Amino acid sequence: MSYVTIDQVTKGYENQVVLNDISLVLKKGEFATLLGQSGCGKSTLLRSIAGLEDVDLGRILIDGKDITNLSPRQREVGMVFQSYALFPNMNVFDNIAYGLKMKKIKNIKSRVKKMIEMVDLIGKEESYPHQLSGGQQQRVALARALVMEPKVLLLDEPLSALDAKIRKNLQKELKRIQKELDITTIFVTHDQEEAMTMSDRIFVMNKGQVVQSGSPSEIYTSPVNTFVAKFIGNYNVCNMEAFRKLVRSTELKGNEVAIRPEVLQLVSVGEDSLDLQENWVIKGIIKDVSMTGNVLRYEVETEESVFLVDYLHHRGNMFEQGARVHILVPKKECIIL
């Protein structure tokens, strides 16, 4: 059953289309992520749902009610901004209670207290925003949005200003609270790892359009085009003609082939144990080795292009720069685009 419906929404600024005929449907309680590069329209779509931007065409429905032309205050959506947007003249309690006061809702004290407990800010009620850390400010912003019991929670890159460790913790917290309240959430980010970690469903956006949607696993393992393949997982995307030359095969069709770096294997030249039944084999030279914590990334130069090969970082996986290798490409893992 659809809970949030974006129906053919289009928006433009001075001859430039920002949202191009976007349609998407979310179920109640779902955690959906709009993922894309800067300028792809994801924040504009979020702001359109919030009512902070008008749409030129299309409809937005929440729980069956058309909210396209309602003002932000009538939409029953909560939003957390990238820069938190806490009110500097109010302390934590007043910030969280603000919406309740505006709507003249009763039991303000108990509702705010409950929310402060939920976001783990007990003892900080009297603190002003400038006296809080970035993570604490984010919790206040979240509590301020949630205390209104919105039908939909909108999160506009709320974790991007935080350092890595706090971000990881808040990702878990956010997910926990979302599940606990069973609140439909739309999260905007340009960080694919964050999107994978948190989402039930991801909508990959490019140039004002949703180019692919699905579960994190579907998006990661089955990209539908070159953009998604490159954006979502550092895929090796190779021109089909060049790939045919490299693997000396004419049976492959399509325009391009995409292969994830972690499914490739490196074998030193001279080793005989090559499974030619299951794999293609490409000759190459290690051009560069870089380390991203637990992952070793090899750049292997071949006759036609450079391939990225990811290995878990342990002693047995070490290849020297300049070493001649064979790249084993599992046939099953080649995605034809």
Partner 1 sequence: MKSSLTIHKVIVGLLVIYLLIPLVGTFLFSIAGKWDHTILPESYTMKWYIELFQDERFYDAFRRTLFLIVMSVGLSVVIMLPTIFIITVYFSKWEGLLQAVAMLPYGIPPIVGAVGLIKVYSDGPIQIAGTPWILIGAYFITILPFMYQGIRNSLRTLNAVQLVDAAELLGATKFQAFRTVVFPNIISGILVSTLLSVALLFSEFAFANLLVGGRFETLQIYLADKLNSSGHLTSAIVITYYSMILLLTGTVLKLTFRNEKYPVVSNKKRILSFFRKQYSHKNTTLEGEK
Q: Does 83 bind partner 1 (CB under 8 A)?
A: yes
Query: Binding residue for partner 1 (CB under 8 A) from 27, 73, 109, 179?
Result: 73
CA distance 72 to 242: 53
Stretch (H or E) spanning 98: helix 92-102
Nearer residue to partner 1 within complex by CB, 77 or 210: 77
87 touches partner 1 (CB under 8 A):
yes
Q: Is 39 in the site for partner 1 (CB under 8 A)?
A: no
252 counts as binding partner 1 under rule CB under 8 A: no
Taking CB under 8 A as the rule, does residue 129 contact partner 1? yes
**C-alpha span between 258 and 55 (Å, rounded):** 36
Run of H or E including 289: strand 279-292
Among 11, 48, 60, 78, binds partner 1 (CB under 8 A): 78
Q: Is 50 in the site for partner 1 (CB under 8 A)?
A: yes
Nearer to partner 1, 74 or 317 (CB): 74
CB of 139 to partner 1, least distance (A): 15
130 near partner 1, judged by CB under 8 A:
yes
The least distance separating partner 1 from the CB of residue 111, rounded to whole angstroms, comes to 13
State the minimum distance, in angstroms, from the CB of residue 91 to partner 1.
9
User: Contact between 144 and partner 1 (CB under 8 A)?
Assistant: yes
- Pick one of 72, 169, 239, 268: the residue that binds partner 1 (CB under 8 A): 72
* Contact status: 139 vs partner 1 (CB under 8 A): no
Q: Is residue 16 part of the contact set for partner 1 (CB under 8 A)?
A: no
Nearest CA to 254 out of 286, 290, 229 is that of 229
- 188: Cα separation from own chain's centroid: 7
> What angle in degrees, to the nearest 10, is found between the helix axes of 164-181 and 134-146?
20
Judged by CB under 8 A, does residue 88 bind partner 1?
yes
Report the alpha-carbon distance of residue 13 to residue 19 in Å, rounded: 10
Q: What is the DSSP string of 112-180?
A: HHHHHHHTT-TT-TT--GGGS-HHHHHHHHHHHHHTT--SEEEEESTTTTS-HHHHHHHHHHHHHHHHH
Do 3 and 27 form a contact (C-beta atoms < 8 A)?
Answer: yes
For partner 1, the closer CB: 144 or 326:
144
Pick the closest to residue 218 from 235, 241, 196 (CA basis): 196
302 neighbors 286 (Cβ within 8 angstroms): no
Please pick, from the candidates 10, 68, 81, 108, the single residue that binds partner 1 as defined by CB under 8 A: 81
Backbone angles phi, psi at 215, to 5 degrees: -70, 160
Q: How many binding residues for partner 1 (CB under 8 A)?
A: 27
State which residue, 70 or 285, has the beta carbon closest to partner 1.
Answer: 70
Q: Is 79 in the site for partner 1 (CB under 8 A)?
A: yes
- 107 is a contact residue toward partner 1 (CB under 8 A): no
| Amino acid at position 217, single letter | S
Residue 148 near partner 1 by CB under 8 A: yes
Q: Does position 103 bind partner 1 by CB under 8 A? A: yes
Tell which residue, 302, 255, 256, has the closest CA to residue 283. Answer: 302
Least distance (Å) between residue 88 CB and partner 1: 4
Query: Would you tell me which residues interact with partner 1 (CB under 8 A)?
Result: 50-52, 71-73, 75, 77-79, 81, 83, 85, 87-90, 98-99, 102-103, 128-130, 144-145, 148
